[in-house]
Amino acid sequence: MAVKPNPSREAVRAVVPRMIELSEDLIYADIWERPNMSKRDRSLFVIATLVSTYRPEQLKGHIGRGLDNGLTKDEIAEVITHLAFYAGWPASMTAARVLREVLEERGLV
């Protein structure tokens, strides 16, 4: 399966080519394609992990991927709200801002 070009990966490909190769050939072409879990569910777990570990730069792309994989904006908002009590209010507030940016870019807000 061909992996779609991604500006984040392209921005660092020249300095960490092997890492990008692993991302494309292992993470996206293999792990994300495994049949025992839907891409929708994988997106849900990745979004929750990125919120919990305060990774807003990566969160933006994965929120977009989650929407493409069938998550709704309300489901993503619920994950962010739920995690405020487990990952911390600041992490969830930052995630909420990132969600809004993605939704605005897609004309969903």
- CATH number at 98 reads 1.20.1290.10
> Is pTM beyond 0.85 here?
yes
Whether 47 and 17 map to the same domain: the answer is no
> For 3-58, how does the pLDDT look when each residue is reduced to its tens digit (9 = 90+)?
777 888 999 999 999 999 999 999 999 999 999 999 999 999 999 999 999 999 99
pLDDT band at 67 (very low <50, low <70, confident <90, very high): very high
Whether 84 and 43 map to the same domain: the answer is yes
Whether 74 and 31 map to the same domain: the answer is no
Is the predicted pLDDT of residue 101 greater than 90, yes or no? Answer: yes
| Domain span including residue 90 | 38-109
d(CA 51, CA 90): 10
Whether 54 and 106 map to the same domain: the answer is yes
- 51 burial (CB, 10 Å; 0-12 / 13-18 / 19+) is buried
